[in-house]
């Protein structure tokens, strides 16, 4: 048994491949957080007065809050004065197109496997790239704007589309929502903004790539996606960070608004630096993601593959306000070494005939702790609300933990909520069967893990599915037939 | 604001009367914890769905003499009482004069807890009493410990299977003023012995009662325990009811908790599986009407390998009632080959009723098989229609289906007398619209 | 090709194999028969390298290599195939991908390039026709929800794909109706060739009606107590195992 669990552990050990640092000229402000910091950030971004007021209001609210302690994660106290709140690659001049970007920067993204040039030419995925605090480049802007789709950095949106930003910013995740959302509202430096006009089906995947580069920098991006009536958009998000011994904080806020008959599909492959084998370093990923199915027959679908970060604390949620609206959450969370993940979703059923579906697959290895935490609430008015949840955990090795905390609150007698959860390990007989066919334990584990996660992986857009599978160290499954 | 300062005077009064020994020491540490923790609020994860502040907005007198008579007890007796060991508690204190111990002392020993704590069972009481505080750190549990007085100790002797089951009658007398009862008992089920224990509750009078009870049961190798709790008290009766069972030898435990009536009823059913190969079955049924609020918390802590546990809790919430289920399974690193199953099924009958359910798995061992499932739904419309199509009126059809829903749990009550009694209680309870 | 010398094996300290000797040459088909509990499946497991079994004595050479010194997967890559009595279900892993992984792992071991998708699919099509297996089965999760016959057919299909030197069929006939048995046996027969040896482990003679063995061995109480040609199997069918086991027990008693 001992020897075999050793094989298992070997089989799941993978070096982090994105740990390099880009040597690039960066504009960095001093560490620390105060009203002055916020004024400085706002000033650097040349923001209008209303935006600064909004930030200061959030900051003053944040000061009154205490950091939440309820997640099933442990970490030393964060010193919020020891963080750099603004770091930006210095632009040589105003960029008109990607071709003018710093070659060093483009090389970085090539290394990350998201060659902007390639992507632009071949796959037709529009990419917005955010390094440290600011958006570097957005591709395909022109083509998109021809059909009325706005896809730009949030900083740009504040300048160019203030009426939209004013209307929607904080409308799904209020600045007072929670500790990290308040912090983000005060200091967010960039992020992506999408607006899909009425009746438009966005012809390509929109994608943002987040990268933390600077040491001691926190990343606080803000994403806002608005889908007008009868529109559709599929949005992808990826992220990486260099190897560092210190922990770095990532506290993002994502807000989605789906109007009548609109659909938003939001996919994440989260691969922030998870820390080393001994648990040193890594990103604290404390994120608030929430979508509002505002109109009738609207739909929001979250898909996430979580393999990175030292600590992950996030619950992409859907408020099902419109009648007949649909919320979905598909998640694979893989934790290894000393990683901790407390993740799940909230499905808040308010409208009639609303439906939600939750599929969560947790895989724990090494000394990691992996928790699913979810809330399904059917309000008094949520006639005929339906939810089905399936939460499965797979354990690799005997030093890790898998935990499930589903909360179910029902106040309407016509609602039907079902939840199922299982926990199991990879069976010795399964491993033996594979090995007898010449597949070594390592590959066998990868095959089985990928099979376990398949239901979720199938939800990912093609371009992302491949990357996600690589992350799970599985190369065979899905490559044939 | 709750005024709980008066507890200090009552506590000091009690300590003065009996200042030494194990129990006084426990009371002291209990009171220290209570002073620190206070009354739980919804900020405490374990009390998120149950608000107990209304239980602390009044002053309860210290439990004392009461005018409970044999006639009062007669009204409370359960079927089969003529063959049972009947232990009567009035306002949380054991009253020997109203009780009947029918088993001989070679089978079963019943002693006041204070006597057990100083006599031959001194070491055992010191080692086992208040083990539950390792699992329950809230103020309400500590409050019970602060006021341990007049409890009982029961020992089922090695290899014995007493013919007479044990019945606990908890009578809370509110005819003069509100009553806070804090009964405490410790039960030792020795090697290869067998115990069948049933508890029931009755509030007399119009005022509010609050039964804050803790029972700790220690189960040794090859022993077999059946435990039944029947809660069918008045609408002004509240409870925080903790049953803490430790299986320290390979043994078998079977429990059924039935909640029909009450104001706020919180049950903590803790199972500590501290030996290889334990087997445990927990069942619960709550059928709530009016404004009743019932909260069942179960906790199974798997400490050793090869344990098997199965939980099935079912419930119905009607009118403006609230049902809460929180089932927690922990599998510690040594507890390989644990098999743990849990299921919670609910039917919501009214839009003013609420069901909150929260199954929890916390697993630190890898070679385990655990699953939980929970559902919230309604009566099967198809079945209802089928019955009505056969000429059965809607109301009767509903009662029939609800009875069928409850039957899974009722069947788990092994003694025939109790099972048919409970079935009748349920029928009457459901049939009254 | 395979030479088993005086193999003793334990499980949980209990001795199951008590000195097995067996020689198999390329192209031969051997059948091992015996009553339940005689050690047939243990022999298959020991040869394939299941960890629970401890070999306490003896040695096995396979194509000139020390078989017991190889890991389970290397034995497979060297060309030893075990068709499982109870094929294992692996939820979520499609049969196609599973076999592709197996084929390419073997090629890698032998220093060959992995098969690209096109050649792999071509090979699959050929072998599918050979063993009469439905394509739909191959896109499903391996063995999950397969009937008994489908599982066994899938084992034979994998054998076809992996082209082993020695195939050990562990009670491949168990749980099959006569039609399924015929198809499975037909598949195995098609896979017979002068370089490939087959070891059939079975309780019943019935399988041998469809696959003609060159040699038949009777395993009883951890030892091969009688060897012969296919006539021995017929004799067993007629007289039952008792006629041999009684004889052995009698000898042991004396």
Q: Scanning the structure block, which residue is given the tokens 């083990």?
A: B131
* Per-residue model confidence (pLDDT) at position C156: 93
| Other chains touching B, judged by 3 or more CB pairs under 8 Å | A
Phi, psi of B265, deg, nearest 5? -120, 120
Contact A440 C105 (CB under 8 A): yes
Q: Which pair of structure tokens corresponds to residue B217?
A: 């049961």
Contact A480 C100 (CB under 8 A): yes
Kindly list the residues from chain B whose CB atom is less than 8 angstroms away from the CB atom of residue A395. Answer: 363, 366, 368
b/e per residue C221-245 (b: at least 16 CB within 10 A): bbbbbbeeebebbebbeeeebeebb
- State the Cα–Cα distance between residues B188 and B190, nearest whole angstrom: 6
* Min Cα separation A261/chain C (Å): 33
pLDDT of B217 > 50? The answer is: yes
Point out the residue among C82, C93, C94 whose CB comes nearest to the CB of A436. Answer: C82
Contact A477 C76 (CB under 8 A): no
CA atoms within 13 A on the CB side of C121: 7
* Per-residue model confidence (pLDDT) at position A385: 96
Q: State whether residue A283 is helix, strand or coil.
A: strand
The answer to whether A81 faces chain B, any CB pair under 8 Å, is: no
* Per-residue model confidence (pLDDT) at position C13: 87
Q: Scanning the structure block, which residue is given the tokens 């796959």?
A: A123
Beta bridge pairs of residue A84:
A217
Q: pLDDT band at residue A272, thresholds of 50, 70 and 90? A: confident
**CA angle, B209 as apex, B205 and B213 as ends, to 5°?**
135
- Starting at the edge strand found earlier in the chain, the sheet holding C2-11 runs C14-24, C2-11, C53-62, C65-66
Q: Scanning the structure block, which residue is given the tokens 């396979």?
A: C62
Kindly list the residues from chain B whose CB atom is less than 8 angstroms away from the CB atom of residue A412. Answer: 348, 351
Residue C148 in domain: no
Q: Which pair of structure tokens corresponds to residue C198?
A: 């087959």
| Other chains touching A, judged by 3 or more CB pairs under 8 Å | B, C
Distances (CA, A) of B228 to B156, B198, B409: 17, 5, 12
Q: Are A247 and A277 in contact (CB under 8 A)?
A: no
Residue C30 in domain: yes
Could you read off the pLDDT of A233-253 as tens digits, one per residue?
A: 998 887 665 666 667 788 889
Name the residue in chain C with its Cα closest to that of A478.
C97
- β-bridge pairing C53-62 and C2-11: antiparallel
Could you read off the pLDDT of C188-218 as tens digits, one per residue?
A: 999 999 999 999 998 878 888 899 999 999 9
- State the Cα–Cα distance between residues A311 and A284, nearest whole angstrom: 5
Name the residue in chain A with its Cα closest to that of C161.
A437
Residue C67 in domain: yes
The answer to whether C94 faces chain A, any CB pair under 8 Å, is: yes
Q: Are A126 and A150 in contact (CB under 8 A)?
A: no
Q: Are C95 and C181 in contact (CB under 8 A)?
A: no
- State the Cα–Cα distance between residues A177 and A186, nearest whole angstrom: 13
- β-bridge pairing B237-247 and B194-204: unpaired
Q: Taking residues B83-93, what's their average pLDDT?
A: 96
Q: Average pLDDT of chain B?
A: 93
Q: pLDDT band at residue A94, thresholds of 50, 70 and 90? A: very low
- State the Cα–Cα distance between residues A332 and A269, nearest whole angstrom: 10
- State the Cα–Cα distance between residues C18 and C36, nearest whole angstrom: 16
* Per-residue model confidence (pLDDT) at position A132: 57
Distances (CA, A) of C165 to A300, A322, A457, C53, C196: 55, 64, 38, 23, 5
Distances (CA, A) of C125 to A171, B394, C77, C118, C179: 57, 61, 22, 11, 23
Residue C16 in domain: yes
Contact B371 A423 (CB under 8 A): yes
Point out the residue among A427, A433, A481 whose CB comes nearest to the CB of C96. Answer: A481
Q: Which pair of structure tokens corresponds to residue B249?
A: 């030898």
Q: Which pair of structure tokens corresponds to residue A391?
A: 């939460």
Measured in whole angstroms, the distance separating CA B267 from the mean position of its chain's CA atoms is 5
* Per-residue model confidence (pLDDT) at position A327: 97
Give the contacts of B187 (CB within 8 A, at least 6 positions apart).
B153, B154, B155, B156, B195, B197, B215, B216, B217, B218
Q: pLDDT band at residue A11, thresholds of 50, 70 and 90? A: very low
Its pTM stands at 0.80
The answer to whether C204 faces chain A, any CB pair under 8 Å, is: no
Cα torsion A393, A396, A397, A399 to 10°: value is -50
- Count of CB contacts below 8 A, A vs C? 101
* Min Cα separation C232/chain A (Å): 31
DSSP class of residue C112? P
Residue B311 or residue A310, greater confidence: B311
* Per-residue model confidence (pLDDT) at position A25: 65
Residue C147 in domain: no
| Residue A127, H or E segment | strand A126-131
The answer to whether A380 faces chain B, any CB pair under 8 Å, is: yes
The answer to whether A175 faces chain C, any CB pair under 8 Å, is: no
- β-bridge pairing B93-94 and B209-219: unpaired
Could you read off the pLDDT of A142-168 as tens digits, one per residue?
A: 778 889 999 888 888 999 999 999 999
* Min Cα separation A346/chain C (Å): 27
Measured in whole angstroms, the distance separating CA C219 from the mean position of its chain's CA atoms is 15
The answer to whether A416 faces chain B, any CB pair under 8 Å, is: yes
Kindly list the residues from chain C whose CB atom is less than 8 angstroms away from the CB atom of residue A10. Answer: none
Containing structural domain, residue C175: 2-85+157-238
Could you read off the pLDDT of A338-359 as tens digits, one per residue?
A: 888 899 999 999 999 999 999 9
pLDDT of B33 > 80? The answer is: yes
Work out how many domains chain C is built from and give that number. Answer: 1
Residue C136 in domain: no
Could you read off the pLDDT of A177-203 as tens digits, one per residue?
A: 999 999 999 989 888 899 999 999 988
Q: pLDDT band at residue A4, thresholds of 50, 70 and 90? A: very low
- State the Cα–Cα distance between residues B214 and B53, nearest whole angstrom: 20
Provide ipTM, 2 decimals.
0.89
Rg (CA), chain A: 22
- State the Cα–Cα distance between residues A281 and A212, nearest whole angstrom: 14
Query: Which among B172, B218, B180, B212 has a CA at the least distance from the CA of B197?
Result: B218
Point out the residue among C75, C92, C101 whose CB comes nearest to the CB of A439. Answer: C101
Point out the residue among A413, A417, A425 whose CB comes nearest to the CB of B350. Answer: A413
Residues 55-84 of C with CB under 8 A from A: 71-73, 75-77, 81-82, 84
Contact A397 B366 (CB under 8 A): yes
Residue B39 or residue A10, greater confidence: B39
Beta bridge pairs of residue A292:
A257, A319
- State the Cα–Cα distance between residues A18 and A276, nearest whole angstrom: 13
Chains C and B touch, using 3 or more CB pairs below 8 Å = no
Q: pLDDT band at residue B230, thresholds of 50, 70 and 90? A: very high
Query: Which among C64, C60, C44 has a CA at the least distance from the CA of C52?
Result: C44
Q: Taking residues A198-210, what's their average pLDDT?
A: 84
Contact B378 A419 (CB under 8 A): no
Contact A395 B366 (CB under 8 A): yes
Contact A408 B367 (CB under 8 A): no
Residue C122 in domain: no
Beta bridge pairs of residue A422:
A392, B371
Residue A249 or residue A324, greater confidence: A324
Q: Which pair of structure tokens corresponds to residue C121?
A: 């699919």
Kindly list the residues from chain C whose CB atom is less than 8 angstroms away from the CB atom of residue A439. Answer: 73, 98, 101-102, 105
**CATH code of the domain containing C185:** 3.40.50.300
Q: Taking residues C133-157, what's their average pLDDT?
A: 87
Disruptive mutation site among B48, B352, B376 for chain A (greatest number of A CBs within 10 Å): B376
């Amino acid at each position: 048994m001992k020897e075999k669990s050793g094989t298992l552990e070997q089989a799941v050990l993978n070096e982090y491949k994105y740990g390099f640092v880009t040597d690039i000229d960066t504009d960095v402000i001093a560490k620390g957080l105060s009203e002055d910091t916020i004024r400085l950030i706002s000033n650097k971004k040349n923001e209008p007065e209303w935006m600064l007021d909004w930030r200061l209001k959030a900051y003053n609210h944040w000061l009154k809050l205490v950091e939440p302690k309820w997640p099933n994660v442990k970490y030393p106290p964060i010193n919020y004065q020891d963080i750099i709140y603004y770091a930006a690659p210095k632009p040589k001049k105003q960029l008109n197109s990607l071709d003018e970007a710093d070659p060093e920067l483009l090389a970085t993204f090539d290394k990350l496997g998201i060659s902007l040039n390639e992507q632009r030419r071949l796959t037709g995925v529009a990419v917005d790239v955010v390094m440290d605090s600011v958006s570097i480049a957005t591709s395909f802007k022109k083509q998109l704007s021809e059909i009325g789709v706005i896809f730009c950095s949030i900083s740009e949106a504040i300048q160019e589309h203030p009426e939209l930003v004013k209307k929607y910013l904080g409308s799904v995740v209020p600045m007072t929502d929670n500790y990290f959302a308040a912090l983000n509202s005060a200091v967010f430096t960039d992020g992506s903004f999408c607006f899909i006009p009425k009746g438009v089906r966005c012809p390509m995947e929109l994608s943002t790539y987040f990268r933390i580069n600077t040491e001691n920098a926190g990343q606080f991006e803000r994403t806002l996606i608005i889908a007008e009536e009868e529109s559709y958009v599929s949005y992808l998000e990826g992220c990486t960070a260099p190897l560092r011994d210190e922990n770095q904080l990532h506290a993002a806020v994502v807000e989605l608004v789906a109007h009548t008959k609109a659909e938003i599909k939001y996919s994440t492959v989260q691969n922030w630096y998870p820390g080393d084998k001994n648990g040193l370093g890594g990103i604290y990923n404390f994120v608030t993601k929430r979508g509002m199915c505002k109109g009738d027959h609207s739909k929001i679908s979250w898909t996430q593959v979580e393999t990175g970060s030292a600590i992950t604390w996030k619950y992409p949620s859907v408020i099902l306000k419109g009648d007949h609206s649909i919320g979905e959450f598909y998640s694979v969370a893989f934790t290894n070494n000393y990683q901790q993940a407390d993740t799940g979703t909230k499905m808040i059923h308010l409208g009639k005939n609303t439906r939600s579906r939750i599929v969560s697959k947790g895989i724990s290895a090494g000394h990691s702790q992996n928790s699913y935490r979810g809330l399904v609430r059917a309000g008094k008015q949520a006639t005929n609300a339906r939810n089905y949840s399936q939460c499965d955990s797979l354990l690799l090795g005997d030093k890790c933990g898998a935990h499930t905390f589903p909360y179910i609150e029902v106040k309407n007698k016509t609602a039907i909520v079902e939840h199922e959860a299982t926990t199991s390990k990879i069976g010795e007989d399964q491993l033996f069967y594979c090995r007898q066919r010449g597949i070594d334990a390592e590959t066998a584990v990868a095959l089985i893990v990928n099979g376990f996660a398949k239901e979720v992986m199938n939800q990912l857009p093609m371009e992302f599915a491949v990357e996600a599978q690589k992350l799970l160290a599985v190369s065979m499954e899905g490559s044939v037939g | 604001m709750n005024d709980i300062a008066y507890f200090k005077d009552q506590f000091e009064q009690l300590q003065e009367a009996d200042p030494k020994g194990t129990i006084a020491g426990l009371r002291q540490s209990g009171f220290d914890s209570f002073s620190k923790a206070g009354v739980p609020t919804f900020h405490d994860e374990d009390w998120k769905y149950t608000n107990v502040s209304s239980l602390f907005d009044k002053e309860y007198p210290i439990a004392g003499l009461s005018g409970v008579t044999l006639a009062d007890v007669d009204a409370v007796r359960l079927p089969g009482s003529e063959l049972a060991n009947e232990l009567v508690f009035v306002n949380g204190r054991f009253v020997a004069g109203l009780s009947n111990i029918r088993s001989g002392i070679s089978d079963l020993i019943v002693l006041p807890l204070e006597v057990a704590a100083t006599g031959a069972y001194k070491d055992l009481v010191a080692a086992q009493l208040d083990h539950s505080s390792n699992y329950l750190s809230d103020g309400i549990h500590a409050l019970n410990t602060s006021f341990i007085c007049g409890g009982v100790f029961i020992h089922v002797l090695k290899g014995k299977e007493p013919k007479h089951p044990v019945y606990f009658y908890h009578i809370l007398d509110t005819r003069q003023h509100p009553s806070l009862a804090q009964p405490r008992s410790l039960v030792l089920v020795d090697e290869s012995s067998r115990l069948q224990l049933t508890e029931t509750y009755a509030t007399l009078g119009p005022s509010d009662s609050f039964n804050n009870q803790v029972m700790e049961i220690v189960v040794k190798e090859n022993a077999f325990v059946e435990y039944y709790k029947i809660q069918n008290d008045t609408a002004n009766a509240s409870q925080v009811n903790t049953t803490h069972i430790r299986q320290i030898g390979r043994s078998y435990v079977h429990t059924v908790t039935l909640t029909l009536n009450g104001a706020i009823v919180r049950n903590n059913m803790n199972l500590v599986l501290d030996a290889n190969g334990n087997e445990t079955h927990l069942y619960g049924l709550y059928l709530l009407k009016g404004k009743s609020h019932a909260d069942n918390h179960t906790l199974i802590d798997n400490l050793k390998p090869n344990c098997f546990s199965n939980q099935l809790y079912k419930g119905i919430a009607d009118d403006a009632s609230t049902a809460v289920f929180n089932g927690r399974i922990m599998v510690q690193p040594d507890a390989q080959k644990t098999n743990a199953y849990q299921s919670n099924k609910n039917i919501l009958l009214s839009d003013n009723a609420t069901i909150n359910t929260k199954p929890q798995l916390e697993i630190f061992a890898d070679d385990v098989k655990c699953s939980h499932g929970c559902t919230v739904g309604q009566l099967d419309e198809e079945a209802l229609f089928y019955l009505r199509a056969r000429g059965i009126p809607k109301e009767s059809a509903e009662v029939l289906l609800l009875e069928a829903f409850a039957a899974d749990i009722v069947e788990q009550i092994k003694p025939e007398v109790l099972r048919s009694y409970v079935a009748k209680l349920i029928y009457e309870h459901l049939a009254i619209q | 090709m395979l030479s088993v010398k005086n193999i003793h094996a334990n499980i949980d300290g209990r001795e199951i194999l008590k000195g097995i000797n067996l020689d198999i040459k390329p192209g031969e088909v051997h059948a091992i028969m015996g009553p339940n509990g005689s050690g047939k499946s243990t022999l298959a497991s020991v040869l394939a390298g299941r960890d629970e079994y401890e070999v306490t004595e003896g040695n096995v050479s396979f194509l000139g290599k020390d078989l017991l010194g190889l890991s389970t997967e290397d034995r497979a890559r060297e060309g030893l195939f075990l068709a499982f009595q109870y094929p294992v279900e692996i939820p979520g892993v499609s049969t196609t991908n599973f076999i592709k992984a197996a084929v390419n792992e073997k090629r890698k071991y032998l220093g060959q390039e992995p098969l690209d998708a096109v050649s792999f699919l071509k090979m699959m099509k050929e072998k599918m026709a050979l063993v009469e297996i439905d394509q739909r089965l191959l896109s499903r999760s391996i063995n999950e929800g397969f009937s008994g016959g489908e599982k066994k057919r899938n084992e034979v299909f994998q054998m076809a794909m992996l082209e082993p030197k020695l195939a050990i069929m562990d009670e491949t006939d168990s749980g099959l109706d006569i039609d399924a048995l015929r198809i499975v046996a037909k598949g195995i027969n098609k896979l017979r060739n002068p370089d490939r040896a087959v070891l059939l482990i079975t309780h019943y003679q019935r399988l041998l009606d469809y696959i003609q063995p060159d040699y038949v061995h009777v395993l009883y109480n951890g030892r091969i107590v009688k060897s012969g040609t296919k006539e021995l199997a017929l004799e067993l069918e007629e007289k039952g195992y008792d006629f041999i086991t009684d004889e052995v027990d009698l000898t042991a008693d004396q």
